[in-house]
Structure 1
Amino acid sequence: MTDIHATARAAALLKDHRDSIDRLDAILIYTLAERFIHTQAVGKLKAAHELPPSDPAREATQIARLERMAEESGLDPEFAKKFLNFVIAEVIRHHEQFQK
């Protein structure tokens, strides 16, 4: 039988972890929104100057940079790479729309 005090402590810890997760999710969403404000400005600038929507050299540099940061922080570098590739694909899609 589970100790009622241990169960209450576990419930409190669970709530604390979930509160932190919710706060971090909000930070991620607002950070991504801010990032896309800047990438859309870049897309408009590229369109205005007839530059290609994609910059493979920059993308490779960013992926390598984020993989290093992921390793340093204890995050799976492969996950970081997949995440950044997803974000980059969305950015390029926006940039291509500005080219039309």
Structure 2
Amino acid sequence: MPLTVLAALRAEIDTIDEEIIQLLARRFSATEQVGELKAQHQLTAVDSEREAAQARKYHMLADAHQLNPALVLGMFAAVIQEVVANHQKLATRRMTESDD
């Protein structure tokens, strides 16, 4: 494989990686708003029913795109774990602010 082709493919991968990171930033911005609403209305940080539905959806999407479902589910599990931790911090902060 000529090195120019390899370099072009790596550049494409780098661009895709940047797009994934930008999408993650957008996702976390949206989930921060969800966390604020949950904290404001004293809702729990975890929504087990939604997480289960999303896991089924991720599995279906992984299959549809010929990706390893375990990889996709693991990736989203890490993202969701971070989201829940952020929601818990927001709830704690809101409770602390309301005590003042």
Same fold (TM over 0.5): yes
Structure 1 counterpart of 2:95: none
Could you tell me which residue of structure 2 aligns to residue 60 of structure 1? 52
* Higher relative contact order (CA closer than 8 Å, sequence separation 6+): 2
Unaligned runs of 5+ in 2: 93-100
CA-based RMSD of the aligned residues comes to 0.8
1:18-44 Cα deviation digits (max 9, x unpaired): 011000000000000000000000000
Misfit runs of 4+, over 3 Å: none
The structure with more radius of gyration: 1
Matched, 1:26 2:13: no
Provide the TM-score with structure 1 as the length reference.
Answer: 0.89
How many residue pairs match? The answer is 92
Q: Return the TM-score normalized by structure 2.
A: 0.89
Structure 1 equivalent of residue 74 of structure 2: 82
Cα deviation code 1:14-67 (max 9, x no counterpart): 011101100000000000000000000000000000000000110111111011
**Any stretches of 5+ residues in structure 1 without a counterpart?**
1-8
Pairing 1:98–2:90 present = yes
